Amino acid sequence: MEKIQNIQAGWLIDGSGDAVRENMLIRMEKGTFREIRPVCASEPPLGNFLDLSDYTLLPALADAHLHLFMSGTADQEIREKQLDADFSEMKTVISDHLKQLMHCGVLAVRDGGDYAAHALRFRDECADPAEIRVCIKAAGKAWRKEGRYGRLIGRPPGKNRNLAQAIAEESQTADHVKIVNSGLNSLKHFGKETPPQFRPEDLAAGIRQAHEMGQKVMVHCNGRLPVKEAVEAGCDSVEHGFFMGKENLWRMAERQTFWVPTAITMKAYAQQLPSGSAEAGIAQRNYEHQLKQISRAKEMGVPVALGTDAGSLGVFHGRAVAEEMKILMRAGYSLPQAVQCAASQSMKLMGIPNRGRIVPDSEATFIAVKGKAENITETEKEMLLFLSGKQIYPASV
């Protein structure tokens, strides 16, 4: 029988949103947390002991919205190549992204789609758990309306077929369904909204169909009407949700619909576009507007899961998660609450309930970051990664 392993942690963020606790003892057995309690000064020395008293422990993180087929690079040549790559080239690209994610403590991802369903194929053909330690949830190709935004990530249902029929026929092997129900944010006119892509009844039927197949539905939507119709149609998460407005936040709080704000996308645009250009200025205003919406969502009790849209211009796989956590903190979340969004809330949305919290009986999958809790979002921190109680990064000693 495997022995109990004991860890002393300098600081602990357990993923529930509760305050940081200092000097904690974590006991694990068979890859599961058994007991979590303060270190007792008078107790005799424990066997099988790992001293992490100068580390902060927190649950492994998740990115609930990214695109594994694209890199965040601003190098136009690389971006174009990735949009035209066949699966054999794409395998290396995706595998590199997953390594980058793992090195940032991200052990679960929800892919929001690509035009060739490369990420879904990778999940099926290449994600050997002995090699790829990141749990991949993939949508395959997203659904969009003919002639509307979303060509790079999906396709329309096609002629003589509505959204629900298309989902029934082609989304069976996916983990979840992705529907695109608006355009992108304008970088020319601040706050310009686009109309919904699908009729409300078609959207609702599509979502019902996915739910009958046991799949959740993530809906790309910005602006008041596209978000309203997605929430009322019963979507599981609103993706982006820029300029959705207060009424939608109330609606989502009432229904407990998840929001994945991906605020980093606009911050990255503001940094990547030519400095001083009108587009960079509008991207910055979009970002600031989103910060206000996030603060409001927090006050209203909208469940927020952390997603980054990594693969978007200037948004890099892995490190974008800490960046988005800092953005949540700028909007009023405490550090433990931001971790909660990136861990337990994202895992819940992704259907991985045994990860994302450091509590008895959940899977002992966690990260240990060198230093005090308040410094963990700093980049390039020394980090240890544990999967089911075993250290997997750096290679176990």
Question: DSSP 3-state assignment of 240?
Answer: strand
**How many CB atoms are closer than 10 A to CB 105?**
26
Structural contact between residues 311 and 272, judged by C-beta atoms closer than 8 angstroms: no
Residues 321-360 binding Zn ion (CB under 5 A) are none
Least distance in angstroms from the C-beta of 221 to Zn ion? 12
Which residue in the block uniquely carries the two structure tokens 């936040």? 249
Question: What are the DSSP E strand ranges found in 42-103?
Answer: 49-59, 61-66
Structural contact between residues 271 and 254, judged by C-beta atoms closer than 8 angstroms: no
- Please report whether residue 154 would count as binding Zn ion according to CB under 5 A: no
Residues 233-272 binding Zn ion (CB under 5 A) are none
Least distance in angstroms from the C-beta of 113 to Zn ion? 7
Nearer to Zn ion among residue 59 and residue 318 (C-beta): 318
Site string for Zn ion, 66-105 (x = CB under 5 A): ----------------------------------------
Structural contact between residues 312 and 318, judged by C-beta atoms closer than 8 angstroms: no
Nearer to Zn ion among residue 20 and residue 109 (C-beta): 109
- Please report whether residue 309 would count as binding Zn ion according to CB under 5 A: yes
Q: Residues 188-213, buried b or exposed e (16+ Cβ, 10 A)?
A: eeeeebbebbbeeebbbbbbebbeee
Backbone angles phi, psi at 161, to 5 degrees: -150, 130
- How far apart, in whole angstroms, are the C-alpha atoms of residue 9 and residue 230? 43
- Please report whether residue 112 would count as binding Zn ion according to CB under 5 A: yes
Nearer to Zn ion among residue 175 and residue 309 (C-beta): 309
Binding region for Zn ion (CB under 5 A) out of 18-26, 32-40, 246-254, 304-312? 304-312
Nearer to Zn ion among residue 311 and residue 356 (C-beta): 311
Residue 189 CA from chain centroid, whole number: 28
Number of residues that bind Zn ion (CB under 5 A): 2
> Residue with CB nearest Zn ion?
112
Nearer to Zn ion among residue 17 and residue 307 (C-beta): 307
Least distance in angstroms from the C-beta of 112 to Zn ion? 4
Binding region for Zn ion (CB under 5 A) out of 43-51, 74-82, 162-170, 307-315? 307-315
Least distance in angstroms from the C-beta of 109 to Zn ion? 12
Structural contact between residues 291 and 318, judged by C-beta atoms closer than 8 angstroms: no
Nearer to Zn ion among residue 112 and residue 157 (C-beta): 112
Least distance in angstroms from the C-beta of 154 to Zn ion? 10
- How far apart, in whole angstroms, are the C-alpha atoms of residue 275 and residue 242? 23
Nearer to Zn ion among residue 71 and residue 365 (C-beta): 71
Query: Using omega within 30 degrees of 0 as the cis cutoff, is the peptide bond preceding 394 cis?
Result: yes
In the complex, the residues that contact Zn ion under the rule CB under 5 A are 112, 309
